[in-house]
Amino acid sequence: MTNKGKYYLTTAIAYTSGKPHIGNVYEIVLADAIARFKRMEGYDVFFQTGTDEHGEKNELKAAAEGVTPKEFVDKVAAIIREQFDLMNVSYDHFIRTTDEYHEKEVQKIFKYLYDKGDIYKGAYEGLYCTPCESFWTESQL
């Protein structure tokens, strides 16, 4: 079969603040179907999925379980990966936002944007809502 070129496919990365749910599995199975179809068409597919492991919810849940945030997200990420593997998902790479290489690349990107003046240090005043993961100002309440 002729190689039709590269085809990159990624999913949203699952939050690790709780066990995976049908929404995680639904999305990954649909993405897997696309990846398999594109491979059948002759594309060189790179299919990536993974987990988003940062956030206050993870810290709070880890504390409630008496473990470190890293121990907590390691456990949940393993469950998510097991479920994806159980579904025989054909991903090529499973990224975790706590992977050292990922953290280093993100730092490079932020430094680049900071050096260009696209982002800056500043102060923000508002209220943070952990359940909805949003900042709110007084006028929004």
d(CA 111, CA 119): 9
Q: Name all domains of the chain by residue range, CATH numbers in brackets.
A: 6-140 (3.40.50.620)
pTM beyond 0.85, yes or no: no
| Phi (first) and psi of residue 14, to 5 degrees | -70, 140
> Which tens digit of pLDDT belongs to each residue from 59-95?
999 999 999 999 999 999 999 999 999 999 999 999 9
Specify which residues 46 forms β-bridges with: 8
Is the pLDDT score of 1 beyond 70?
A: no
> Which tens digit of pLDDT belongs to each residue from 93-107?
999 999 999 999 999
User: What's residue 120's pLDDT?
Assistant: 95
Of 85, 87, 61, whose CA–CA distance to 75 is shortest?
Answer: 61
Is the pLDDT score of 113 beyond 70?
A: yes
- Is the separation of the CB atoms in 83 and 29 below 8 Å? no
Is the pLDDT score of 115 beyond 80?
A: yes
User: What's residue 24's pLDDT?
Assistant: 83
